[in-house]
Homo-oligomer: A and B are copies of this chain.
Amino acid sequence: MKIIELTEDVSLTRDIETSTEKQRESVGAIINQVRQNGDKALKDLTEMYDGVRLENLFVTEEEIKEAYNHINQQTLESLRRASKNIQSFHERQTRQSWVTTNEDGTMLGQKITALDSAGVYVPGGKAAYPSTIMMNVIPAQVAGVRNIIMTSPPDREGKLAPAVLVTAAELGVTHILKAGGAQAVAALAYGTETVPSVDKITGPGNIFVALAKREVFGQVDIDMIAGPSEIVVLADNTARPDYVAADLLSQAEHDEMSSPVLVTTSKTLAENVQTEVEKQIAELPRKEIASASINDHGAIYTAAELDEAVEAVNQLAPEHLEIMTKNPYELLGKIRHAGAIFLGPLSAEPVGDYFAGPNHVLPTNGTARFSSPLNVDDFTKKSSIISYSQTAFERDAEDIAAIARLEGLEAHARSIEVRKKGEN
């Protein structure tokens, strides 16, 4: 890993998967095909891309029962404990509708309503990602979304991974579509004969899923388009190099494009982490991926002072930030931009990825400047409430008509004045 002295400007060498014109065209064509031919298109496209002709697009009760046979009891208990923590953290986020009732008789407020429905995309492939299911489904359930539908591409036998089915079933999600790619997104956005359309689609996916989400945005809401994963560790000389190295590598194993970065005030730590990374990386099963990430997008920045290091963190606006300094809590107020902030030597990133309770769907690619972790608010919306009384109306009518006329909107003014004339 390169050790670089911190200068004024710092930025991650972010390497975003960019789409080609051909991919965009292909996604457009797939969406149109699903809109026009519904279930038939879904089956045709699944045959083409996933190599299996499905008779039934949905997972059956039998398949879910069968899946339980392939999960060991201890893992199941671990998933249940994780799920309980995630639920508990998200329940603290729920908000109430509110009104102000004024003495003049007016009532103003915000009504908070859950979305009617949500669709969760779960990637397929060799590994199963139960945590993706929990992190997307639980906030929607806590918000009060009544209809949740999950979708994931089947394997060549037309099956989904047991861990995926069991995790969904544990959360009470039984409406599971076997479809992936842009076709799954199109089905959720527009509906088919058997797939109900939803109000919002969340969950990670490959470039085709990302392009399709961007394309249907407006028809439905979407979560953010996730970029490669990032970690920044902010550490002083009290940090243990083996912990720091392990955490950088946990990020690096995700993807060749992941960015693992250390910002430290200690040159000694910088050098020791450099050594530890070499040592630990050699023993990793995914060492090729991790090496590419470390070499191409990893960096160790050394700062003269802690404040300078903190400012670099704010410039990077990382997805994950670990603070391993003498007193991490006193730095919290200075951190303006980070998706999740892990404080102290034991708050390793995987604690948050899987278990502690906060969401692991986090803003990447510097968007922590303006975006938030997935949360309960994302599955609710607000409506303004306005109730005006006679007293308030009479007091304010002239002001309102004056501003309407200043903006050249006469009918707006008249809608006020017709009421001044009337006996109410």
Q: Report chain B residues within 8 Å CB of A116.
A: 336, 369
Task: Give CA–CA (A180, B278) in the complex, Å.
Answer: 53
How distant is A314 from chain B, measured CB to nearest CB, in Å? 9
In the assembled complex, which residues on chain B have CB atoms less than 8 Å from the CB atom of A285? 410
With A369-B199, A370-B200, A399-B82 as known contacts, state yes or no: A352 contacts B406, CB within 8 Å. Answer: no
* Bound CA–CA A415/B250 (angstroms): 7
Residue numbers of A with Cβ under 8 A of B are 74-75, 77-79, 81-82, 89, 92-93, 98, 100, 106-108, 110-111, 113, 115-116, 126-131, 163, 199-200, 218, 220-221, 225, 240, 242-243, 246-247, 249-250, 252-254, 280, 284-286, 290, 328-329, 332, 335-359, 362-363, 365, 367-373, 375, 377, 381-390, 392-393, 396, 398-404, 406-416, 418-419, 422, 424
A-B contact pairs, 24 of them (CB 8 A): A75-B402, A81-B399, A108-B356, A110-B358, A111-B341, A218-B225, A220-B370, A240-B422, A243-B415, A250-B412, A286-B409, A286-B410, A340-B385, A341-B385, A341-B386, A347-B386, A350-B401, A352-B384, A353-B404, A354-B412, A355-B403, A369-B381, A372-B383, A373-B383
Evaluate contact between B250 and A411: CB separation under 8 angstroms: yes
How many copies the complex holds: the figure is 2
Interface pair A409/B253, CB less than 8 Å apart: yes
From B357, B377, B385, B406, give the contact of A163 (CB < 8 A).
B406
Q: A344 contacts B387, CB within 8 Å?
A: yes
What are the 4 closest A-B residue pairs judged by CB atoms, nearest first? Answer: A358-B384, A221-B370, A340-B384, A246-B415
Verify A370–B339 contact, CB threshold 8 A.
no
